[in-house]
Amino acid sequence: MPTATDDNLGSGNWQVGPAALAMYISQKLIVGTLAQQWWSVGVEEGEANTSILNAQYFILLPMSGGWQIGMTPNVIVNWKADSDNAVTFPVGLGFWKMLKLGNTMTQWSVEGQYSIISPELYGAEWNIRALVKIVLKSPFMGR
Protein backbone atom coordinates (compact mmCIF):
# COMPACT_ATOMS: atom_id res chain seq x y z
CA MET A 1 0.00 0.00 0.00
CA PRO A 2 1.29 3.52 -0.69
CA THR A 3 2.19 4.56 2.89
CA ALA A 4 5.43 6.52 2.31
CA THR A 5 5.39 10.02 3.80
CA ASP A 6 7.70 11.32 1.05
CA ASP A 7 7.76 10.48 -2.68
CA ASN A 8 11.46 9.57 -2.44
CA LEU A 9 10.74 6.90 0.18
CA GLY A 10 8.18 4.82 -1.69
CA SER A 11 6.82 3.85 -5.09
CA GLY A 12 3.50 5.66 -4.62
CA ASN A 13 1.39 2.71 -5.77
CA TRP A 14 -0.19 -0.51 -4.59
CA GLN A 15 1.75 -3.78 -4.77
CA VAL A 16 0.59 -7.40 -4.62
CA GLY A 17 2.28 -10.77 -4.85
CA PRO A 18 2.74 -14.23 -3.41
CA ALA A 19 4.59 -15.26 -0.27
CA ALA A 20 5.95 -18.66 0.72
CA LEU A 21 7.50 -20.02 3.92
CA ALA A 22 9.72 -23.10 4.16
CA MET A 23 11.32 -24.11 7.44
CA TYR A 24 12.82 -26.95 9.43
CA ILE A 25 12.65 -27.02 13.22
CA SER A 26 14.47 -29.42 15.54
CA GLN A 27 15.79 -29.26 19.11
CA LYS A 28 19.20 -28.15 17.80
CA LEU A 29 18.41 -26.03 14.71
CA ILE A 30 15.82 -23.75 13.11
CA VAL A 31 16.40 -22.95 9.41
CA GLY A 32 14.23 -21.62 6.63
CA THR A 33 13.19 -18.75 4.43
CA LEU A 34 10.21 -16.46 3.99
CA ALA A 35 10.09 -15.25 0.38
CA GLN A 36 7.78 -12.52 -0.94
CA GLN A 37 7.48 -11.10 -4.48
CA TRP A 38 5.79 -7.73 -5.03
CA TRP A 39 4.50 -6.27 -8.32
CA SER A 40 2.89 -2.87 -8.85
CA VAL A 41 -0.81 -2.78 -9.74
CA GLY A 42 -2.89 0.08 -11.08
CA VAL A 43 0.17 1.99 -12.26
CA GLU A 44 -0.63 5.06 -14.33
CA GLU A 45 1.48 6.36 -17.23
CA GLY A 46 4.77 7.79 -15.94
CA GLU A 47 4.57 6.25 -12.45
CA ALA A 48 7.17 3.86 -11.04
CA ASN A 49 6.51 0.19 -11.79
CA THR A 50 8.04 -2.15 -9.19
CA SER A 51 9.02 -5.80 -9.15
CA ILE A 52 10.85 -6.68 -5.93
CA LEU A 53 11.74 -9.99 -4.24
CA ASN A 54 12.32 -9.97 -0.47
CA ALA A 55 13.60 -13.27 0.97
CA GLN A 56 14.36 -13.43 4.67
CA TYR A 57 16.50 -16.44 5.45
CA PHE A 58 17.07 -17.57 9.00
CA ILE A 59 19.50 -19.87 10.76
CA LEU A 60 19.01 -20.10 14.52
CA LEU A 61 20.63 -22.30 17.14
CA PRO A 62 18.52 -22.72 20.31
CA MET A 63 20.56 -22.63 23.52
CA SER A 64 19.72 -23.18 27.18
CA GLY A 65 17.90 -20.58 29.27
CA GLY A 66 15.69 -19.30 26.42
CA TRP A 67 18.62 -18.00 24.36
CA GLN A 68 19.16 -18.35 20.60
CA ILE A 69 22.07 -17.33 18.38
CA GLY A 70 21.96 -16.97 14.60
CA MET A 71 20.99 -14.67 11.76
CA THR A 72 17.80 -13.46 10.05
CA PRO A 73 18.81 -11.09 7.20
CA ASN A 74 16.65 -10.01 4.25
CA VAL A 75 17.92 -10.55 0.70
CA ILE A 76 16.32 -8.00 -1.64
CA VAL A 77 16.30 -8.17 -5.44
CA ASN A 78 14.91 -5.22 -7.42
CA TRP A 79 14.19 -6.79 -10.82
CA LYS A 80 13.73 -3.32 -12.41
CA ALA A 81 17.10 -1.85 -11.29
CA ASP A 82 20.35 -2.03 -13.25
CA SER A 83 22.75 -4.80 -12.18
CA ASP A 84 24.88 -2.53 -9.92
CA ASN A 85 21.82 -1.55 -7.86
CA ALA A 86 19.62 -4.64 -7.97
CA VAL A 87 20.74 -6.89 -5.09
CA THR A 88 21.19 -6.54 -1.34
CA PHE A 89 22.68 -9.67 0.29
CA PRO A 90 23.50 -9.34 4.00
CA VAL A 91 24.88 -11.81 6.52
CA GLY A 92 24.65 -11.30 10.25
CA LEU A 93 25.00 -12.47 13.80
CA GLY A 94 22.44 -11.92 16.50
CA PHE A 95 21.17 -13.01 19.89
CA TRP A 96 17.57 -13.69 21.00
CA LYS A 97 16.23 -14.13 24.53
CA MET A 98 12.77 -15.25 25.67
CA LEU A 99 11.58 -13.42 28.79
CA LYS A 100 8.34 -13.65 30.71
CA LEU A 101 6.98 -10.24 31.73
CA GLY A 102 4.08 -10.89 34.09
CA ASN A 103 1.92 -13.43 32.25
CA THR A 104 3.20 -12.39 28.82
CA MET A 105 6.04 -14.08 26.95
CA THR A 106 8.32 -11.71 25.03
CA GLN A 107 11.32 -12.17 22.76
CA TRP A 108 14.15 -9.61 22.75
CA SER A 109 16.83 -9.57 20.07
CA VAL A 110 19.72 -7.61 18.62
CA GLU A 111 21.50 -8.47 15.38
CA GLY A 112 24.34 -6.88 13.44
CA GLN A 113 24.36 -7.36 9.67
CA TYR A 114 26.95 -6.72 6.94
CA SER A 115 25.92 -6.57 3.27
CA ILE A 116 28.39 -8.55 1.20
CA ILE A 117 26.47 -7.28 -1.87
CA SER A 118 24.64 -3.93 -1.80
CA PRO A 119 23.39 -1.33 -4.30
CA GLU A 120 26.01 1.24 -5.29
CA LEU A 121 23.58 4.19 -5.17
CA TYR A 122 21.82 3.69 -1.85
CA GLY A 123 22.88 0.42 -0.21
CA ALA A 124 23.85 0.21 3.45
CA GLU A 125 27.06 -1.66 4.20
CA TRP A 126 26.22 -2.28 7.91
CA ASN A 127 23.02 -2.23 9.93
CA ILE A 128 21.85 -3.17 13.40
CA ARG A 129 18.38 -4.55 14.04
CA ALA A 130 16.81 -4.61 17.51
CA LEU A 131 13.37 -6.16 18.10
CA VAL A 132 10.96 -6.77 20.95
CA LYS A 133 8.13 -9.20 20.20
CA ILE A 134 5.09 -10.24 22.20
CA VAL A 135 4.67 -14.01 21.86
CA LEU A 136 1.03 -15.11 21.74
CA LYS A 137 -0.22 -18.61 22.41
CA SER A 138 -1.36 -20.49 19.32
CA PRO A 139 -5.15 -20.83 19.15
CA PHE A 140 -4.62 -24.11 17.24
CA MET A 141 -2.59 -25.95 19.89
CA GLY A 142 -4.03 -27.80 22.88
CA ARG A 143 -3.43 -26.61 26.42
pLDDT (tens digit per residue) in 7-42: 666 666 788 999 999 999 999 999 999 999 999 888
Residue 5 forms part of a structural domain: no
Report whether 31 contacts 58 (CB < 8 A): yes
Above 60 in pLDDT, residue 73?
yes
Residue 124 forms part of a structural domain: yes
Q: Which residues contact 93 (CB under 8 A, 6 or more apart)?
A: 69, 70, 71, 111, 112
Over range 120-140, report the average pLDDT.
Answer: 89
When divided into structural domains, the chain yields a total of 1
Residue 141 forms part of a structural domain: no
Distance CA 119, CA 14 (A): 24
- pTM of the entire predicted model: 0.81
Above 70 in pLDDT, residue 110?
yes
Residue 120 forms part of a structural domain: yes
Residue 80 structural domain:
15-42+49-135
- Model confidence band, residue 143 (pLDDT cutoffs 50, 70, 90): low
Report whether 126 contacts 101 (CB < 8 A): no
